[in-house]
Amino acid sequence: MIAVKNSRELGFMQRACAIAAKALRLAGEAVEPGVNTAALDRLIRQYIESQGATPSFLGYGGFPASACISLNNTVIHGIPSQHTVIKNGDIVSIDVGALLDGYHGDNAATFAAGDISPDAKALLEATEGSLYEGIAAAQSGGRVGDISAAVQRYVEDRGYSVVRQFVGHGVGTALHEDPGVPNFGTPGRGPRLVPGMTLAIEPMVNAGGYQVTVLPDKWTVVTADGSLSAHFEHTVAVTANGPVILTLAQ
């Protein structure tokens, strides 16, 4: 069942999303060669908790950290560790959620550590661009497939591939709600978009093939061919006047 939020509920979501967005921005500003991913995770947790919120991911399904931090060919769900030290040229995907007053905000971005290659830079630009193409398609009266198709077209036109095993989702009182929001699909298909729906739109884009592998830790997802991967995400509200991004850092 798809939850449709009223104005009061959207207000709660805006506050949770603002915290998640600021935590992500702070972590991104701290990405640099020599920093370990556990330090970024601590920074994220400390900020979220300082705002009276709780990290959405901490303990979720047994996940052991406050954020997912994924380097290079790791697509999503990378587990922060003091032994994972960021190097010059790495790309670092950070996924952050915050829970406040019973509502979640969810967002992600991929950051450059030092001087990254032109190929990596192009992948980041294409992935972020596809996110905004998907958001633009989140129009009341449309369908989820409109979002999916917009992302897929933008990505594949640039020679990349969208991950198919993992998708975006609704978000609200649960971190993952209906509907699923794939990054591939057909316009005009899927659930109808109506005002009050809140969606985590999150392209996961590989430089190579779309296939992925889950490592033995049962969390870390890597590209099957070892190619680079990037991840960008916003929580978006569908409104009668067009989509509104709730996870914009102030």
pLDDT tens figures, 22-60: 999 999 999 999 999 999 999 999 999 999 999 999 999
Mean pLDDT score of the chain: 98
Predicted confidence (pLDDT) at residue 166 exceeds the cutoff of 90: yes
pLDDT tens figures, 62-121: 999 999 999 999 999 999 999 999 999 999 999 999 999 999 999 999 999 999 999 999
**Average of pLDDT values for 127-153?**
98
Are residues 229 and 74 in contact, defined by beta-carbon separation less than 8 angstroms?
yes
**Average of pLDDT values for 212-216?**
98
Q: What is the pLDDT of residue 249?
A: 75
> What pTM did the predictor assign?
0.97
* Among 149, 112, 148, 147, CA closest to 228: 112
Q: Which pLDDT band, with edges at 50, 70 and 90, does 250 fall under?
A: low
pLDDT tens figures, 167-196: 999 999 999 999 999 999 999 999 999 999
**Average of pLDDT values for 143-165?**
98
